[in-house]
Chains A and B, each alone.
Chain A
Amino acid sequence: MRVIFVIAKNTFREAVRDKILYAIVGFAVLFILSSLFIAQLARGDIVPVKSFGLAGIYIFGLIAAIFLGSSIIYKEIERRTLYFILSKPVSRSQIIIGKFFGLLAAVALITITMTIVYECVVFYQSGSFDYVSIIAMIFQIMEEAIFIALLIFLSSIVAPLISTTCAIVIFFVGHITTSALAEAELVGGISYKFIAFVYYVFPNLDKFDLRSFAVHNIPVPRSLGIIAFGYALLYSCALLYCAHLLFKRREL
């Protein structure tokens, strides 16, 4: 546990010192602040402000995760920084888990920072904070956990460009499988079986989309949180376990 913490701390420190990350966060803050102009166009209606701001948090959180995660293991292998770690009393699984937590902490910090800016904008516009969006942010961090685990899995086998492409495709598929399955149920046959296969194998990221709840200020049922947390935990663990198996076999 101590070794995992040391690796996570180091990964986090490396990540938050990346200047490109500051640029991403800078753009994100500008994007969220620009929703103030949307508010003027919407003549005081807070819904477009919330939609715009939450979309910004989501997109830039995703960009940060891809930027930091797509090469995380690959880079360590290519640059041979792993040699330092593996010659010490550290197992490959500890590296995978440590990297995961370090990266998740960095991406979560970015998401929280963006949410704070968003809350300030909402407060400025409406005179009250958007508490449901804090729950939406927690759900987003759970989704980011799956996405980071996926990126770690991919970066332990393929180069960053391929890893990024695959992650974006999986992300896209992960958001449409629920509606695709509903449509396929009506059609039936082989199409349904194929969509059902994709539905169960690919991550179902729709579970974590609470933005519409936040925008319309709808209370979030507790059961949704429990299911989402359990799903994120199990799916991330499965991906990290597969990453570990691949990384263990990898020749250095």
Chain B
Amino acid sequence: MIAIKNVSKKYFRETVVSGISLAVRDGTVFGFLGQNGSGKTTTMKMIVGITAPSAGTIEIDGESTGDISIHEKIGYMPEAPYFYDRLTGIEFLRFSGELFRDVTQSDTQYENLLKKVGIYDARNKAIWTYSKGMKQRLGFAQALVNNPKYIFLDEPLDGLDPIGRREIKEIIKTLKAEGKTVFFNSHILYDTEELCDEIGIINEGRLLYHGSVKDFSKGRSLEENFISLVEKHTKI
């Protein structure tokens, strides 16, 4: 389980995330929704241990994310990922895998992962030759390299064409079927509705809603309810 308790984050004097508490059960797909600059990425960075919270605690499987050993169970794809451009796709994946203590993947397994995300044919090309969508897929592949129990994806569908989006959504569904917990950030509500069991809505660093998609929608579209909730809480 992912347990976030009263988490806040301040950069100098500016509060970016304010007192967020939420719990994500194992095996669920959780969509963390919000407008640009609402605090989604900062929250995710705190969960995966890239930055430390200014206050509050974050635990995964009962262990603090400040402890790097918990990272063995985590897969993370940053938003609009940048890579070591002079490496090839397979080299980058191998590098990512070698950073884990328990990962002893063969090249065939890395290649299968690249097949899964649809960039197998480009495996031996330098990453600087990849398109935005291909980089997004490589970012997704490296998040799965350690067969993680918890997968964190920051805007995973951004920059993908319709076929790419469908493929990534299929992979997320497969991961869910395998019992993985998927936590993703998005501002694209249509995809979220289709994929998520639960959602959290964040606005100006505050959590406005946390619960099931059905309870939130109440017969209306997710987008309509999201807009009206956010507008109600936005400071003018």
Asked whether A and B interact, the reply is: yes
Mark A residues whose CB is within 8 Å of B: 2-3, 6-7, 10, 13-14, 17-18, 79-91, 251-252
Distance (Å) between the CB of A85 and the closest chain B CB? Answer: 7
- Taking a contact as CB atoms under 8 Å apart, the answer to whether B99 and A18 are in contact is no
- For window 47-83 of B, CB contacts with A under 8 Å fall at 48-51, 68-69, 71-72, 74, 76, 78, 81-83
Binds A, one of B84-92, B164-172, B181-189, B208-216: B84-92
**Contact pick for B78, options A10, A83, A88, A251, CB 8 Å:** A83
Q: How far is the CA of A138 from the CA of B95 in the complex (A)?
A: 30
Name which residue of chain B comes closest to A79, CB basis.
Answer: B82
A6 touches B48 (CB 8 A): no
**In chain B, what residue has the closest Cβ to A13?**
B87
- From the candidates A2, A7, A13, A86, name the one contacting B91 in the complex (CB within 8 A): A13
Establish whether residues B49 and A86, one from each chain, have CB atoms under 8 Å apart when the complex forms: yes
Given known A-B contacts A84-B78, A252-B51, A90 and B11 have beta carbons under 8 A apart = no
Interface residues in B199-220 (C-beta closer than 8 Å to A): none
Name A5's closest neighbour in chain B (CB-CB). B98
Collect the chain A residues with CB atoms within 8 Å of residue B11's CB. Answer: 251
**Could you say which residues of chain B place their CB within 8 Å of the CB of A7?**
99
Residues of A within 8 A of B48 (CB): 86-87
Q: Establish whether residues B82 and A80, one from each chain, have CB atoms under 8 Å apart when the complex forms.
A: yes
Which residues on the A side are within 8 Å of B78 (C-beta)?
80, 83-84, 87
Which residue numbers of B lie inside 8 Å of A, CB to CB?
11, 45, 48-51, 68-69, 71-72, 74, 76, 78, 81-84, 86-87, 91, 95-96, 98-101, 142, 146, 152
Q: How far is the CA of A79 from the CA of B76 in the complex (A)?
A: 16
B residues in contact with A81, CB < 8 Å: 82-84
A84-B96, A87-B48, A88-B96 known; A10 vs B87 contact (CB < 8 Å): yes
Question: How long is the Cα–Cα vector from A251 to B142 in the complex, in angstroms?
Answer: 24
Selected contact of A14 from candidates B51, B76, B86, B99, CB within 8 Å = B86
Looking across the interface, which residue of chain B has its beta carbon closest to that of A83?
Answer: B78
Across the interface, do B91 and A87 meet the contact criterion of CB distance under 8 Å? no
A6 touches B76 (CB 8 A): no
- Nearest-neighbour CB distance to chain A for B236, whole angstroms, equals 29
* Besides A80-B78, A80-B81, A251-B51, 19 new A-B residue pairs in contact (Cβ under 8 A), listed by A number: A2-B98, A13-B86, A13-B87, A13-B91, A14-B87, A79-B82, A82-B50, A83-B50, A84-B76, A84-B78, A87-B49, A87-B50, A87-B76, A87-B78, A89-B68, A89-B99, A90-B68, A91-B68, A252-B51
Known: A80-B78, A83-B78. A17 touches B86 (CB 8 A): yes
Measured CA separation A88–B75 after assembly (Å): 8
Tell me the complex Cα distance, A251–B10, Å: 10
Q: Taking CB as reference atom, which chain A residue is nearest B75?
A: A87
From A14, A18, A89, A251, residue with most partner B Cβ within 10 Å: A89
CA distance A83 to B78 in the complex (A): 7
Q: List 5 A-B contacts (CB under 8 A).
A: A81-B84, A87-B152, A88-B146, A90-B71, A91-B68
Chain B nearest Cβ from A95, distance in angstroms: 10
Which residue of B69, B71, B98, B101 is within 8 Å of A87 (Cβ)?
Answer: B71
| Contacting pair B82 A252 (CB below 8 A) | no
A85: chain B residues at CB < 8 Å are: 99
